[in-house]
Structures are given as C-alpha cells and as structure tokens.
Amino acid sequence: MNDNTLSSPANDIFSSDFMLANVGAPFIIGLAVGYFAKKMLKTALFVGGAIVSLIFVAESYGVISINGAALQDAASLSAQAAKDSGSFLLDHLAAITSRGASGAGGFYVGFKLG
C-alpha cells in the first residue's frame, strides 16, 4: 500500500482544508444564525411587551376590556411559534454537515453571545 494515498489532503481529516470546510464554515454559519435568532427574539419580546403594556394601560383608562384567557392563548401560540422556528433553524443547520454538530454548536454559541 502506498503511504502517499493515506496522507493525501482528501483523506487527511486534520488538514486545514478539511477542517475549514467541514467544521469551521458550518460553525461560523451556525454562530451567525444563532446570534441573529437571539437578537430577533429579544426584539420580538420587547415589542410584544410594549404592546401588552399599552393594552393594560388602555384597560386601566377604560378604553378597552381584556379577556385574560384570550391573552394567555395568544402568549401560548407565540411561544409555540418561537419553539418551532428554533427547531426549524437547527434542522437546517444540521443539514449543512454530515453530523451537524459544528453547525448546531455554532448556533448555541451564537445564541449565547446574542
């Protein structure tokens, strides 16, 4: 057996080309997606909190009447939508690499940093 075939760049899992393409790039993509997802979640929570606060102020002035059950249903639907979008993003990141570990790892790091 020829030693050159075993150490060729295509077969060397520790080469920089292999590591960048299969570990580095998916990690960076996951990092960017996770960071963006966290920032968007914070923005959505800020806007949602402002809307709910304005609804409570309007109720205290007698402008509107709030149905508590409907408000809880809306909050439950929003939480489920956020959970579904998170799993959607992770599924797509896992498809980038064969195992998806580096993309998902990047997503979690980016989400933590965001």
Do residues 94 and 103 make contact, with C-beta atoms less than 8 angstroms apart? yes
Taking CA atoms, 60 is separated from 57, 76, 78, in Å, by: 5, 24, 25
Q: Which residue did the predictor score with more confidence, 33 or 23?
A: 33
Counting the structural domains of the chain, the total is 1
Predicted confidence (pLDDT) per residue in 27-40, tens digit? 888 889 889 989 99
Q: Is residue 112 part of a domain?
A: yes
Q: Count other Cβ atoms within 10 Å, centred on residue 8.
A: 11
Q: Is residue 23 part of a domain?
A: no
Q: Is residue 20 part of a domain?
A: no
Phi/psi for 7 (5° steps) reads -105, 15
Tell me which residue of 44, 41, 38 sits closest to 107, measured CA to CA. 38
Q: Is residue 59 part of a domain?
A: yes
Phi/psi for 2 (5° steps) reads -85, 130
Q: Mean pLDDT across the chain, nearest whole number?
A: 80
Do residues 42 and 114 make contact, with C-beta atoms less than 8 angstroms apart? yes
Q: Please say if the pLDDT value at position 53 is more than 60.
A: yes
Q: Please say if the pLDDT value at position 99 is more than 90.
A: no
Q: Is residue 98 part of a domain?
A: yes
Q: Is residue 10 part of a domain?
A: no
- 53-57, long-range: CB < 8 A, 24+ apart: none
Q: Which two tokens stand for residue 21?
A: 């393409």
Residue in the structure block whose two tokens are 């960076």: 28
Q: Is residue 24 part of a domain?
A: no
Q: Which pLDDT score, from 0 to 100, does residue 85 have?
A: 85
Where in the sequence is the domain holding 84, given as residue range(s)? Answer: 36-114
